[in-house]
Amino acid sequence: MFASDPNSFPLVGIKPVLDTQNHWVGLAFQMQVAASLPVLQSLLCCPESEELGSLDYYIPLADPLAIDASQFDGLPLDRIVFTVPAALLADGAVQKCCKQLADRGLRLLADGDAGVAAAQAGIRGLDVDCADGLPGPLAMMALPGPHLARNVDAVRVGECRRAGFTLFRGELPRAQEHDAGQGDGTTRKRLLALLGLLAQDADSRELEALLKQDPALSFQLLKLVNSAAFAPNSNPIHNFGQAINLLGRRQLQRWLQLLLYARQQADGPANALLPLAALRAAQMESLCRLREGERDEQDMAFLVGVFSLLDVLLAMPMTDIVSALNLDLDVVAALLDRSGELGEMLALVEMHEPQASALRDVGIDNETYWRSLLQAYHWALQVSRNV
């Protein structure tokens, strides 16, 4: 299990970068690039990173002058976006260095209001902490973009979009979807009833009967099983019996758990909670498998990851949710208190910047954590693109 020296592989956290439709378009690294680039080579040249397709990597670059460009070989330069502190761009040597990086095809963003110096340095846009305010309009107009806003809550996101920001990262998904379950009390009861049936391993006919009462969820399930990812050469699936036979009982339960997050307006943005729930579920299952958990234990870990966002989806306290469901006590302890083995794993996957002590608690090393995280992101992307 411990495949590498934990001190030889960097421990790095990542956050998704979203576009205006809540689609994941990049990953923001919680790290600083130092004088050389071996750290990036370790992170970005493993097979799992290649499976992430077209996602861009947003990486803070504290000191452009410390970069050794001779070590760029092998890195996916077309997918790397460096963020440079705006305060450094007034320095002529930094401007020249950034311009050289831009000429090599690297995209550069400025962290802060950089003024004319940003354009002279080949900077394309801004990567700004907007928690307390927005940059001046002239700073954004002087650059072609796109511009990325960090730490934007649900109140400020509209303001950022009107100002010209098209990329976002932080706790935005949770804030935007906080009222997703409000409004229709009948719908909420139906969701809880479906969750209860899933948790109790109910008969497929019971699931089918409840699904027929929810046109939106029914549509999402049939759309899923008819997607190229599941039935590329099959005849169209028109009913739930066919869907159950195609997916199988175990996969049906998993997809129904995730499809709960797919409820959205037909003409509205994607539910940003869906890929986040899929990410947690996939990494929880991976960590359980690494700990040599049995198949049933892996399913339970997956369920904990999915259910960990139900309080946000339904706009209800988690205590009220678990009291309405017949959940295993280990699942309840993990969801309410982050206690027990499942709770330790959940606490780890919720961290944007993982701690070495948390990895030790679940018995994995840095490299194993990183690979499991990339695998989870890959699966979450597949889910969000097929639902």
Mean pLDDT over each residue of the chain, to the nearest integer = 80
Are 207 and 159 part of one and the same domain? no
| Last residue in a domain, options 142, 176, 210 | 176
Strands (DSSP E) found in 12-89: 13-18, 24-30, 56-60, 80-85
State how far Cα 371 lies from the chain centre. 15
Please indicate, yes or no, whether residues 209 and 356 belong to a single structural domain of this protein.
yes
- For 385, the token pair is 């693109």
Range of the domain at 75: 32-176
Assess if residue 4 is contained within a domain.
no
Beta strand pairing status for 167-169 and 148-150? parallel
Whether 19 is covered by a domain: the verdict is: no
Q: What is the pTM of this model?
A: 0.82
Residue 257 lies in a domain: yes
Q: Where are the beta strands (DSSP E) in 117-170?
A: 125-129, 148-150, 167-169
208 & 343 share domain: yes
Parallel, antiparallel, or unpaired for β 13-18 and 56-60? unpaired
CATH number assigned to the domain comprising residue 125:
3.20.20.450
In a domain, 14, yes or no: no
324 and 368, same domain (yes or no): yes
- Tell me the backbone φ, ψ of residue 316, rounded to 5 degrees: -135, 150
> Do 239 and 105 belong together in one domain?
no
Q: Quick one: pLDDT at residue 264?
A: 55
- At residue 56, the 3 state secondary structure works out as strand
- Per-residue model confidence (pLDDT) at position 175: 39
Give the least confident one: 104-108, 243-247, 304-308: 243-247
**For residues 72 and 98, is the Cβ–Cβ distance under 8 A?**
no
Question: Domain end: 176, 192, 207, which one?
Answer: 176
What mean pLDDT comes out for the span 352-379?
85
Q: Residues 274, 337: one domain?
A: yes
pLDDT at 57 > cutoff 80: yes
Looking up residue 334, the CATH number of its domain turns out to be 1.10.3210
Summarize the confidence of residues 50-64 as an average pLDDT: 84
Q: Which of 150, 176, 202 is the last residue of a domain?
A: 176
Give me Rg for the CA atoms of the chain. 22
Q: How far apart are CA 376 and CA 74, in angstroms?
A: 24
> Cis omega (within 30 of 0) on the bond before 16?
no
d(CA 229, CA 75): 30
Structure tokens at 286: 């991976």
Shared-domain flag, residues 171 and 230: no
Residue 22 lies inside a defined structural domain of this protein: no
69 and 157 housed in the same domain: yes
Residues 217 and 155 in one domain: no
Return the structure tokens found at 341. Answer: 């083995």
Cα 364 from Cα 366, distance rounded (Å): 7
